[in-house]
Amino acid sequence: MKHSSSTAIVTGGGSGIGQAIAIALAAQGHRVAIADLDLTSAKQTQALIAQNGGSAFSVELNVADAAQVNQVFSDIASEHGIDILINNAGIGAVGTIEETSEAELDKLYSVNVKGVYHCSLTAIAAMKAQQSGVIINMASVASSVGIADRFAYSMTKGAVLTMTYSIAKDYLHDNIRCNCVSPGRVHTPFVDAFLEKNYPDNKEEMFDKLSKTQPIGRMGSPDEVASIVTYLCSPQAAFITGSNFPVDGGFVTLNN
């Protein structure tokens, strides 16, 4: 495989959608920095990429830690440059406003919102210096429509969507493109863990129920999300910035 000189950072690249994105970008010839709170998982993704002849390395990263993000990203920028940033790391929460503690709200904000802020801030400095770059933020259908019992999660993903618009607008003249992808329900280890925790006695029934909330009748796959991400990072998407791409089986527009 011919490797390009471009470097892509994928936060939360150790599993699920992040892992699929890291593998897909490596298959396109990018050098991929897999940044994850769980270094073991990151190295597993790295091994999968290496098996296919791709180029990748792993870094332990807590996106909520500003000092750590600055150090890790600065090191990557100095050694490789930063051409692509995928802000994928995130956590979820279930509950209405009355069921959401202040501590839980702060935890989601620190990862899902400030994590995007920390990573984008450092990456943009490197991208401005080279006058080029691509940032893809992983939002959610919860950014655009009301979903029951997802107060804190929806708050953070709404912020991700509007941060995307702001970054795209502010850095047009630095040739930095910023878009976001908004998945519906995607079958990942996160979904399996959610069902195991909340519905241990009827996992299959709930999986089927959740699948059918997408008009298309099933959950998406991580690879289907990764496909649109790799396109948005490619030269073919050079005319696209400040846009939101639902990958949701028709959830936002056809659920009526």
Give the CATH number, domain containing residue 144: 3.40.50.720
The verdict on whether 231 is a catalytic residue reads: no
Contact 129, 74 (CB under 8 A): no
| Residue 118 identity (one-letter amino acid) | H
Domain count of the chain?
1
Per-residue pLDDT at 1: 43
With respect to residue 196, please indicate whether it lies within any of the assigned structural domains: no
Per-residue pLDDT at 193: 85
pLDDT at 4 over 90: no
With a pLDDT cut of 70, the percent of the chain lying above it is 98
With respect to residue 198, please indicate whether it lies within any of the assigned structural domains: no
pLDDT at 3 over 60: no
Mention every residue, 6+ apart, whose C-beta is less than 8 A from residue 147.
141, 154
Q: Which domain holds residue 28?
A: 7-184+222-254
| Residue 169 identity (one-letter amino acid) | K
With respect to residue 203, please indicate whether it lies within any of the assigned structural domains: no
- Quick one: which H or E segment has residue 161? helix 151-170
With respect to residue 195, please indicate whether it lies within any of the assigned structural domains: no
Model pLDDT for residues 72-123, shown as the tens digit of each residue: 999 999 999 999 999 999 999 999 999 999 999 999 999 999 999 999 999 9
pLDDT at 149 over 90: yes
Q: Which of 109, 153, 171, 199 is catalytic?
A: 153
With respect to residue 200, please indicate whether it lies within any of the assigned structural domains: no
With respect to residue 95, please indicate whether it lies within any of the assigned structural domains: yes
With respect to residue 158, please indicate whether it lies within any of the assigned structural domains: yes
